[in-house]
Amino acid sequence: MSPASYRRLAVVALALLCAIVVTGAAVRLTGSGLGCTDWPRCNEQKFIDVSSTHGAIEQVNRLFTGLVTLGVVVAVLGATRRRPRRSDLVWLAWGLVAGVVGQVILGGIVVLTDLHPLANQGHFLLSMILVVTALVLVKRSGEDSDARVPVVSTSTARWVRGVVVVGVLAVFTGTVVTGSGPHAGDENARRFGFDISNVARIHGISVILTLSLLVALIVVTRRGNDRGRLDNAIEVVLAIGVLQAAVGYVQYFNDIPALLVGIHIAGATAFTLALANLWLGLRSGSARQAEKSLTRETVA
């Protein structure tokens, strides 16, 4: 398999992993979290049961997991047949398989614990780890080497890491807000028990801090020798972050409608990927990019 063909497989795997985050959110937001009361069977009578609306929604999401599993298995097989063979791509692809297996197990735990918010939180956070891993696979499969070389200055790299750490904190606090809010997947499901106003305020502060650091990062890169190197990645994070903040405030002041929560979850996935893309921009496995960076450093 050629590198270009393998990269297309990796893109498909990434798309499937992003899609199942949205379908999983739809299960919870439609109150279908216990549409199937057992696992891996839908219920004690049937392995597959679509006789009710909630059951059908939950069952479709479970069946879609099979498509995701197929996608990551194909990514592994493709990595072993890619020429030239790259061990980093093989390990990343196997990481996707391990993550999907973990998601299947966590999905069972979510159902068997009657949608405990901690299990739901873990389910989402593992999804974020999976989509980031898939993005790394896509990015690296498009590079010509597994050797990573820095392409920005040390000071810029520190600012980027600060932005990513605080951004990840914003995503995490968002899951706490979700676990304290009204959309549990079932009207009788447990919640964290935190005051929604307090946790939303903490989440909002982490988002504002992330956006502030992004603005500072823009100033740092344009005043130093890294002008133009990370501009696109920074702008994407900033744009998605601002949109997420807007959706978050609108949903909070409108009694948290399910549709906006679904959009917010999709946005959180996009924001996580944008943060990962920014982090990955610190180093490159492309000989051309490395040479360009070295030339800029020499001129500076």
Query: In whole angstroms, what is the distance from residue 297 CA to residue 275 CA?
Result: 25
Q: What is the pLDDT of residues 82-117, one digit of tens each?
A: 999 999 999 999 999 999 999 999 988 998 898 899
Architecture of domain 146-300: Up-down Bundle (1.20)
Domain range list for the chain: 1-142, 146-300
From CA 221, how far away is CA 237, in angstroms rounded? Answer: 15
- Express each pLDDT in 52-66 by its tens digit: 888 888 888 888 888
What is the rounded CA–CA span in Å between residue 58 and residue 36? 6
The pLDDT of residue 119: 93
d(CA 154, CA 41): 52
CA 169 from centroid of its chain's CA atoms: 13
pLDDT digits (tens, 9 = 90+) for 143-169: 887 777 888 888 899 999 999 999 999
pLDDT tens profile 184-226: 888 788 889 899 899 999 999 999 999 999 999 999 888 877 7
Q: pLDDT tens, 37-53?
A: 887 788 878 888 777 88
The predicted pLDDT at position 280 comes to 94
At residue 297 the predicted structure's pLDDT band, cuts being 50, 70 and 90, is very low
- The more confidently predicted of residues 150 and 276 is 276
